[in-house]
Structure 1
């Protein structure tokens, strides 16, 4: 009823019921005046959906300001697209849960050390692609097209690009959680048996499912980048201000190449090239993602303006610790376990590794050390800033 009433008022359809060009009717009858007044009195609050001129309020970028004609085509485009499909989060969440359940059911008939067939693998890849993509859409819908999401955006002054970026980080954290579950399962099963030859099917199963994430993430990063361009080009042509997908791939070749390498070559190593060996060690590789949720949370806290909060500092310290343990210290520990399994000393065990394995370890380890040093530098600056701020406040008081 409320929607119908607001529509009538917004388009002033009550005037359509009384022909204005009727010469026999100088003034509307009292009954129609009364009905129109009642409709106006019943009009719901328009601060949630419309401004004073009945323009739809944008769900992102310009919350609660309205989209007027002089604010450019981009804002109106964002507003219209926001209100095309509302409250879609429930069916989207249902699809997310359904694909996850189907993925689990597709491997329940396997023995612990079975291999994943190609047909089963492609099914898992498809489920993964649907899962991550629809999860991203569901999170966007929750923030952009619900009352609580609008309130959250207004409170923290978020734009559409902020919302897209935050939800990209949330999906990344979910993927990292799945990696950790896979890694813990592989390590618990394979490392307690024959470290070199024992394998658990979950390693290959999630390699298929998780490979889809890297291809989804290329598309998701493109969406984040594109909406930033749209919002910056407020006075540009809507049709020309966006970035084409293939243009984005060309201008962001490094990060796209990284995703294709991890999602493609990394997938092949885990599923085929390793020949079923070293499942315990690949379990530790999966556990490298343990720091990702804290990295994502750090970015989200920064977006919502909480860089000066204690939560931001605590999360940063946890992120730093987790990153060091799971991405730097992990490599020497794995080599130590390998040395014990073949009954050699540490140095001899390193020499016994194939050259390709040594090169792979260096390729993985050196960037982690570099990023860890950058994190230490950033964390020290944050802590120094907090100490300086406290001293300043004490001097003031």
Structure 2
């Protein structure tokens, strides 16, 4: 048996093991909460297990995508077709995991809104809100590590894990993929490179988790349902980044996806929180601005911290979409 066959068998075995752990962790998390009543709370012990299972699920999913893309024949053909380096592949798989997490978050938000917002806005709660806060918190800390791995491979262009994957030279390579600095960037250097997204992840995964689980003071979770639904735009954001890596910016799919991304981002991330404040003002029978002024200072600060990055990112997306439209218009006229 030659070395190539042995490696192929080894990678198939790794894929099977990763797939087994991935599916088992998700099924275990579902089983852990499936017998609860809607108004039940999640204990610390149960929540700790959910967070552990969340780490297992998201990390094995990331590794599963990476092994499939980097160490299989299908993955090799895919990389060769689109001329992808290992850094490109890791960036794509990171975005795929983000899209999966977004699907879970939206499903959670839909259940919470259908249950809590149609009953008592201020008091009604569903256990899935806390359950996914425990499970999903693992994603935001996993994703910090995952984005750092992407940053390392994009700046050094080294192979992933034990097998080096050499980049395929592009016709006109304008990105930094060909740059091969001898020193691996430190985690602190990465933190300086992406401060906004890093602070966003720490805020959602840390403080946001504490608010949902401990600090809400017995209030209902209708508001948190809308926060979960903010992730509806993430699959479109992820697909935009993936299409960019695949050099498909000029494709119709990129344009249509960009429009869907802008629309969902505007509705779910920019307008959703002001709409929740409107719902709150109606529930307490106050005018809109009186209701906002009546909120505790910590709540108002939290809303600002959550909303301001969304406004910043929406501005960047809109500016990018405008540039793309301006570039495409002369082509259509000619």
Correspondence list, 1:1-397, <5 A:
4=1, 85-87=10-12, 88-231=14-157, 241-245=183-187, 248=190, 255-392=197-334
Residues 121-177 of structure 1, C-alpha deviations (whole Å, 9 max, x = no match): 010000000000000000001111111111111100000000000000111111111
For residue 16 of structure 1, what is the aligned residue in structure 2? none
Give me the CA root mean square deviation: 2.4
**For the structure 1 residues 367 and 180, does the alpha-carbon distance in structure 2 shift closer, same or farther, using more than 3 Å as the test?**
same
Larger radius of gyration between Structure 1 and Structure 2: 1
The Cα shift of 1:119 comes to 0.5
**For the structure 1 residues 391 and 261, does the alpha-carbon distance in structure 2 shift closer, same or farther, using more than 3 Å as the test?**
same
SS in 2 for 1:349: helix
SS in 2 for 1:275: coil
For residue 165 of structure 2, what is the aligned residue in structure 1? none
Residues 68-125 of structure 1, C-alpha deviations (whole Å, 9 max, x = no match): xxxxxxxxxxxxxx87942222321221111100000001121111111011001000
Q: Which runs of 5+ in 1 are unaligned?
A: 8-48, 51-81, 393-397
Query: After alignment, is 243-252 or 198-207 more displaced?
Result: 243-252
Q: Which runs of 5+ in 2 are unaligned?
A: 158-176
The Cα shift of 1:358 comes to 2.2
Provide the rounded CA distance (Å) in 2 between the counterparts of 1:301 and 1:268. 36
Provide the rounded CA distance (Å) in 2 between the counterparts of 1:210 and 1:271. 12
Q: Check whether the contact 1:199–1:276 (CA below 8 A) recurs between aligned residues.
A: no
Residues paired across the two proteins, number: 314
Provide the rounded CA distance (Å) in 1 between the counterparts of 2:250 and 2:227. 33
The Cα shift of 1:389 comes to 1.5
SS in 1 for 2:114: helix
Q: Check whether the contact 2:196–2:309 (CA below 8 A) recurs between aligned residues.
A: no
Higher-RCO chain (CA-CA 8 Å, sequence separation at least 6): 2
The Cα shift of 1:249 comes to 5.2
Q: Check whether the contact 2:120–2:220 (CA below 8 A) recurs between aligned residues.
A: no
